[in-house]
Amino acid sequence: MVLKIEPLDSRRHIRSDFCCGRDSLDNYIRKQASQDIKRRIATVFVLIDEPETSVLAYYTLSAYTVDVSVLNEDLAKRLPRYPLLPATLLGRLAVDNNHKGKRFGELMLIDALHKSLESTAQVASLAVVAEALDEKALGFYIKYGFQPFSQEPMKLYLPMKSIEALCKGMGI
């Protein structure tokens, strides 16, 4: 068996049994993800254990914009004064309950950050933005260096410079 992260293929990947305990995340991967891919709203990546095709975890990436005024002052002072700046949205990240405790959340987050960093060679993005659904998720993102937006403490961002340093530190 080999763990593999790949784009969601609704004809191949089994999503019907996915359950992370959050209805919004469970319903998304089961019912909405394919539509978002077709409409180019989000790209969905899934973790499988080949040759099995059941989804063990997933995350989504999308284009996003950030109001420069809500960023940390240290970062904002080095940026142009455009009202909105490009970012990458890590819209959803979930691990199936049967696979909690295996560090799949960390694996998926690092993969999402790495993909986001690589894409900046083609499409500009100053940070990855994520929204924590609860205090546990908030702690998870903060552990990796995400900073809360000043007016929305459950919405966080990680600058690309930090992602680059994280990836270099991990040898990826």
**What is the DSSP track for 90-128?**
EEEEEE-GGGTTSSHHHHHHHHHHHHHHHHTTTS--SEE
Whether residue 34 has pLDDT greater than 70? yes
Question: Percent of the chain having pLDDT more than 70?
Answer: 98
Domains of the chain: 2-169 (3.40.630.30)
Mean predicted lDDT score pLDDT of the chain? 93
| Predicted local confidence at residue 40, as pLDDT | 96
pLDDT tens-digit map of 37-83? 999 999 999 999 999 999 999 999 999 998 877 776 777 677 777 88
Whether residue 123 has pLDDT greater than 90? yes
Please give the structure tokens belonging to residue 151: 């007016």
Decide if 23 contacts 39 (C-beta within 8 A). Answer: no
Predicted TM-score (pTM) of the model is 0.93
Question: Percent of the chain having pLDDT more than 90?
Answer: 82
Give the E-state strand segments of the chain in sequence order.
Answer: 2-7, 43-50, 57-67, 84-95, 127-131, 147-148, 155-159
CA distances from 131 to 52, 102, 146 (A): 30, 22, 10
| Predicted local confidence at residue 119, as pLDDT | 96
Q: Is the peptide bond before 80 cis (omega within 30 degrees of 0)?
A: no
Residue type, 79: L
| Predicted local confidence at residue 139, as pLDDT | 95
Please give the structure tokens belonging to residue 105: 């959340």
Whether residue 99 has pLDDT greater than 90? yes
